[in-house]
Amino acid sequence: MSNSPSNPKGTRDFLPSELSKRNHIIDILRKNFKNFGFLEIETPALEKNSTLLGKYGNEGDRLVFKILNSGEKVKKADVDSLKSNNLNSFTKSISEKGLRYDLTVPLARFVAQHQNDLIFPFKRFQIQTVWRADRPQHGRFQEFTQCDADVVGNNSIVQEIELIKLYDKVFSDLGFDDLVFKINHRLILRGIAEHIGLGINLNEFISIIDKLDKIGLESVIKEINDTFSNVSISKLESLLKDKSLSFNKISSILNDSPLAQKGLNDLNSIFDFISNSSIKNEIRFDLTLARGLNYYTGTIIEVSSKSNSKLGSLGGGGRYDDLTSLFNMKNTSGVGISFGLDRISILMEERNLFPDYLKNSFDVIIINFGIKYLKEIYTLIDSIRNQNKKVLIYPDKVKLNKQFSYANKHNASYAIVFGENEHNNKEIIVKNMIEGTQSSHDFSEIDSIIF
């Protein structure tokens, strides 16, 4: 028995006031995912290690939480591996399952497994917890929620367009109208690599470009110069130095690269459809957007706040051409976006975007004058609840000021008063706790009091 109970480091308890805010965001996400034609699925928290490992790189494998095999099975622990410091082998001998690390690999597994039961293109969304054995620190958790929408099995640019519209709809519903949706294309980055004379090592090139926002143009140029030989730095500089380079200008510079032209064409179709006048936030082509070293092969997108750039991205996504091939299902193009729940929540808090009604724990509180009076007005209580209002019966017959103070602490809007006096007068008193007014209703009206 611990003297001061606590949740593990890197995890969180959500008290009602915090959870109602998170759920406000999730409700808006879920509503819009559905209205954009996405269907919800859930996968288990537990996945086989054979599903999880080898998908996220060595560092990722290390960060997957492994479940200890149950009961007698731990006897198979490979002590020799432990002694020879082969921790992977040792772990393998005592663990067969792990906790979901993201929602993307489970999606690929799900689609490959259930391909005969799904109708393609398959538009799915998923809002579930993921776990990472990262060192806990401020704002980084071992257990957090991911909110993803993906389309699997279709390569129409309509999907990219709809996903950008979805971003705009969700964020404007949440109260944001000054975010920027940066957009780029992996083929353009590959085109640049081609253009500047860089052959292979595309991933290394992308990972350096990805740091541009953090370390600046000069350091990026230096690092590329140090890393690669025979690269035309001047060509790279002329592409990256001027953020306001027009789309057409870039297109003409990269006209020697068929890959880049394909990427530019895709973006052109998007910009032709979505202009900044047709969305509430801003869409912006950003040649330097790289989105890390992941599985993206086409369009990439990232959402950020103009006012709080330190916060990092509020969401991101892109097209990947062959995710399900991890599970032997070939030629299945996908595209998806995700929403960063925690960061969205932080920014909404900063800007006071959570609606006030979230603070109301209850709409109506029933003042308790004893069980016999409660029984007399229980049809009213039923009726208010049937009006979809939150009703709390104060649990004990105690002093009125204590009951009203409880009502105030919970921001109740109304209090119902029905005690001996009211019983004798055949009336029910409704106090408006916000305006400080009250109204009296004849007891015979009990079924028709509307809140």
CB closer to a second copy out of 56 and 205: 56
To a second copy, the closest distance from the beta carbon of 139 in angstroms equals: 16
DSSP per-residue codes, 233-289 = HHHHHHHHS-TT--HHHHHHHTTT-HHHHHHHHHHHHHHHH--TTSSSSEEEE-TT-
Q: How far, in Å, CA of 430 to CA of 39, rounded?
A: 44
Which residue lies nearer to a second copy by CB, 163 or 289?
163
Q: How far is the CB of 242 from a second copy (least distance, A)?
A: 31
Distance CA 179, CA 171 (A): 8
Taking the complex as a whole, how short is the minimal distance between the CB of residue 220 and a second copy, in angstroms? Answer: 32
Per the CB < 8 A criterion, the answer to whether 25 and 348 are in contact is yes
Nearer to a second copy, 49 or 207 (CB): 49
In angstroms, what is the minimal distance from the CB of 250 to a second copy? 23
* Smallest separation, CB 450 to a second copy (Å): 15
Q: Minimum distance from CB of 129 to a second copy (Å)?
A: 6
Whether the Cβ atoms of residue 412 and residue 433 lie closer than 8 Å to each other: yes
CB-count burial class (<10 Å; 0-12, 13-18, 19+) for 152: buried
| Nearest CB to a second copy, comparing residues 5 and 436 | 5
Residue placing its CB nearer to a second copy in the complex, 12 or 426 = 12
Q: Exposed (0-12), middle (13-18) or buried (19+): which is 30, by Cβ within 10 Å?
A: middle
- Quick one: 252 or 388, whose CB is closer to a second copy? 388
Question: Is residue 337 classed as helix, strand or coil in its secondary structure?
Answer: strand
CB of 111 to a second copy, least distance (A): 9
Tell me how far, at minimum, the Cβ of 414 lies from a second copy, in Å. Answer: 13
- CA–CA gap between residue 363 and residue 143 (Å, rounded): 33
3 state DSSP class of 315 = strand
| Core vs surface per residue 377-401: b (16+ CB within 10 A) or e | beebbebbeeeeeebbbbeeeeeee
Structure tokens belonging to residue 270: 């998007």
Q: Which is nearer to a second copy, 3 or 252 (CB)?
A: 3
**158/299 Cα distance (integer angstroms):** 12
Q: How far apart are CA 186 and CA 304, in angstroms?
A: 19
Residue 203 belongs to what H/E stretch? helix 202-209
User: Is omega for the bond preceding 121 within 30 degrees of 0, making it cis?
Assistant: yes
Provide the minimum distance between the beta carbon of 38 and a second copy in the complex, in angstroms, as a whole number.
9
Question: Based on C-alpha coordinates, what's the Rg of the chain?
Answer: 29
Quote the CA–CA distance of 262 and 185 in Å, as a whole number: 9
The secondary structure of 150-188 as a DSSP string is: EEES---HHHHHHHHHHHHHHHHHHT--SEEEEEEEHHH
Of the two residues 122 and 205, which places its CB atom closer to a second copy in the complex?
Answer: 122
Q: Which is nearer to a second copy, 338 or 383 (CB)?
A: 383
Min CB(382)–a second copy separation in Å: 8
**CB nearer a second copy, residue 14 or residue 247:** 14
Our CB check for a second copy shows the closer of 217 and 374 to be 374
Single-letter residue type at 72: E
Shortest Å, Cβ 313 to a second copy: 25
Distance between terminal CA atoms of the chain?
47
